[in-house]
A and B are shown apart, each in its own frame.
Chain A
């Protein structure tokens, strides 16, 4: 029997994603020794993401953001806790049941060069998820890929180009087109803008905003760049040493941060003007 997709009634008042008490531990062994070291990537993480909104996950490098993202994207299994997508506890499902649900959550990584297979053409890259989920025929998949290329602002005439023939910003668009292929409801972006220059960042943010409005997409956007976060996020969760230390709307976080780490992060947001001023002093 074919496993079912999640029911698609998206109620605006119910969170699309609810994470409760999530923990991830890595156990390492010293080479040639019985001694075990337990590293807590993150502990006791709870958050909620509503349909059509963007939750930014911020924090220093090493705070556990990527580990958390990988668990929510089902790329890794957390040690304990619950991940509920549209009410369904994903961690209680077996591999077979989980397979169709993977369509709902897609991820975009920081470095498009390593996230895209350099030997495939743009069309093949975008169609690959469709192939994996056995959708349509070859020509239907190609048609969908070309449609997606247009949607993200890439010329469909470039379908046969390989990733390295595109610029960094274009490669991220390619990654976004691939992520959209299966019609997900949740996109996780792991520092997806960090390697781009200001102009490209602005363009990609606009694309994401348009996509969110058109398809009621939800974004979990990991970023260490608070300047950008203030532009695109509805809510912000601050992660520090593996725990969520503060979580509120963007406006409230910037206006009245409470946790000392949040204040530190905000303080390191420096404008060019203040830097130039300091230098001339």
Chain B
């Protein structure tokens, strides 16, 4: 399998007031192959989102200091200028945020919001972008309903909004999708539907995914290999199943704890659900 993304000794520190510097994370190294799903687990605030932002060049110079190397398809991203990075964002690497409400414009119809992404990366007429947008929305399971396509975000449910943001991220056929807590704001049913959708799309489009999520159930649904982050470092890496059954680091164990509630789930009689 070809290596799609190679991150070596990546460090990010945020500039605070005066000469204060706060390390988000230090010397992180990992690789993602084509078609692979790599999970990233860790406590809230441990730096997971900072990695996503660094990969996309979304940390400005006056906000943060980024050191190390990010190689995407063999090219070094940290030495690219704004325009080249703009071409990669959305089309080469795209990002799905945790809260779709923040990513979507409240005053634009959802079809137009997806069309806008397509328009930004292609030299096509707006009509064609709209048509492609409808295909992108259909691909994430929002189909056959002109009313949905011309709806505004607040008229949709949380699960539907998350699908729209996913449609935007996939619209230009990126090679790598970074999903930052994609199911965190959803209830259990929408969550399992979204994960099933991601699994299907991943298989169909052979897309690589960096799956950032603290939830073991989310990682179990999608991840092949996974890494655990704590205190700005990767403390353990390996196939998810192995991390789950045989964790070596205390943090991994805490992240993947089998709670009493999980035992409840196992004891439920699924026969009684029709």
Contact of B44 among A197, A257, A263, A279 (CB under 8 A): A197
- Say if the beta carbon of A266 comes within 8 Å of chain B: yes
- Say if the beta carbon of B103 comes within 8 Å of chain A: no
Which residues of chain B are within 8 angstroms of A263 by Cβ–Cβ distance? 272-274
Contact of A231 among B43, B217, B259 (CB under 8 A): B259
Task: Name A254's closest neighbour in chain B (CB-CB).
Answer: B264
Q: B44, A274: Cβ atoms under 8 Å?
A: no
- Given A224-B187, A227-B262, A272-B256, A199 and B221 touching (CB < 8 A)? no
Q: B254, A269: Cβ atoms under 8 Å?
A: no
Q: A227, B257: Cβ atoms under 8 Å?
A: no
Task: Name A166's closest neighbour in chain B (CB-CB).
Answer: B45
Bound form: Cα–Cα A256–B157 in Å:
30
In the complex, per-residue mask of B175-197: 1 if CB is within 8 Å of any chain A CB, else 0? 00000000011111111100000
Task: Name B272's closest neighbour in chain A (CB-CB).
Answer: A263
- Say if the beta carbon of A198 comes within 8 Å of chain B: yes
Q: A194, B221: Cβ atoms under 8 Å?
A: no
Bound form: Cα–Cα A99–B161 in Å:
38
Q: B192, A197: Cβ atoms under 8 Å?
A: no
- Given A276-B220, A276-B244, A199 and B188 touching (CB < 8 A)? no
Which residues of chain B are within 8 angstroms of A194 by Cβ–Cβ distance? 184-185
- Given A197-B43, A231-B261, A269-B265, A226 and B188 touching (CB < 8 A)? yes
Q: B44, A275: Cβ atoms under 8 Å?
A: no
Q: List 12 A-B contacts (CB under 8 A).
A: A60-B189, A168-B43, A197-B255, A198-B255, A231-B260, A263-B273, A264-B189, A266-B273, A267-B273, A272-B216, A274-B265, A276-B241
Q: B187, A272: Cβ atoms under 8 Å?
A: no
- Say if the beta carbon of A8 comes within 8 Å of chain B: no
CB distance from B274 to the nearest CB of A (A): 8
- Given A263-B273, A266-B268, A61 and B186 touching (CB < 8 A)? yes
Bound form: Cα–Cα A196–B190 in Å:
18
- Given A200-B43, A224-B187, A264-B273, A274 and B266 touching (CB < 8 A)? yes
- Say if the beta carbon of A7 comes within 8 Å of chain B: no
Besides A62-B158, A275-B221, 9 other A-B contacts (C-beta < 8 A): A169-B44, A226-B188, A227-B264, A230-B261, A263-B272, A264-B273, A265-B189, A269-B188, A279-B220
Q: Chain B at the A interface: mostly helix, strand, loop or mixed?
A: helix
- Given A198-B216, A268-B192, A230 and B187 touching (CB < 8 A)? no
- Given A60-B187, A61-B186, A195 and B266 touching (CB < 8 A)? no
- Say if the beta carbon of B78 comes within 8 Å of chain A: no
- Say if the beta carbon of B138 comes within 8 Å of chain A: no
- Given A167-B45, A224-B187, A270-B192, A62 and B216 touching (CB < 8 A)? no
Contact of B217 among A61, A226, A260, A270 (CB under 8 A): A270
Q: Chain A at the B interface: mostly helix, strand, loop or mixed?
A: helix
CB distance from A251 to the nearest CB of B (A): 10
3 closest A-B pairs by beta carbon, nearest first, are: A227-B261, A197-B214, A168-B44
Which residues of chain A are within 8 angstroms of B216 by Cβ–Cβ distance? 198, 272
- Say if the beta carbon of B85 comes within 8 Å of chain A: no
Bound form: Cα–Cα A168–B273 in Å:
36
In the complex, per-residue mask of A3-30: 1 if CB is within 8 Å of any chain B CB, else 0? 0000000000000000000000000000
Bound form: Cα–Cα A275–B216 in Å:
10
Bound form: Cα–Cα A167–B216 in Å:
20
Task: Name A170's closest neighbour in chain B (CB-CB).
Answer: B45
Q: B188, A268: Cβ atoms under 8 Å?
A: yes
In the complex, per-residue mask of B26-50: 1 if CB is within 8 Å of any chain A CB, else 0? 0000000000000000111100000
Which residues of chain B are within 8 angstroms of A167 by Cβ–Cβ distance? 43-45
Q: Quick one: which of B147-206 are within 8 Å of A by CB? A: 157-159, 184-192
In the complex, per-residue mask of B212-256: 1 if CB is within 8 Å of any chain A CB, else 0? 001111001100000000000000000001001000000000111
- Say if the beta carbon of A271 comes within 8 Å of chain B: yes
- Say if the beta carbon of B270 comes within 8 Å of chain A: yes
- Say if the beta carbon of A228 comes within 8 Å of chain B: yes
Task: Name A280's closest neighbour in chain B (CB-CB).
Answer: B241
Q: B265, A275: Cβ atoms under 8 Å?
A: no
Bound form: Cα–Cα A271–B274 in Å:
19
Q: B260, A61: Cβ atoms under 8 Å?
A: no
Q: B244, A272: Cβ atoms under 8 Å?
A: yes
In the complex, per-residue mask of A215-256: 1 if CB is within 8 Å of any chain B CB, else 0? 000000000111111110000000000000000000000100
CB distance from A158 to the nearest CB of B (A): 15
- Say if the beta carbon of A202 comes within 8 Å of chain B: yes
In the complex, per-residue mask of B12-35: 1 if CB is within 8 Å of any chain A CB, else 0? 000000000000000000000000
Q: A267, B270: Cβ atoms under 8 Å?
A: yes
Q: B221, A198: Cβ atoms under 8 Å?
A: no
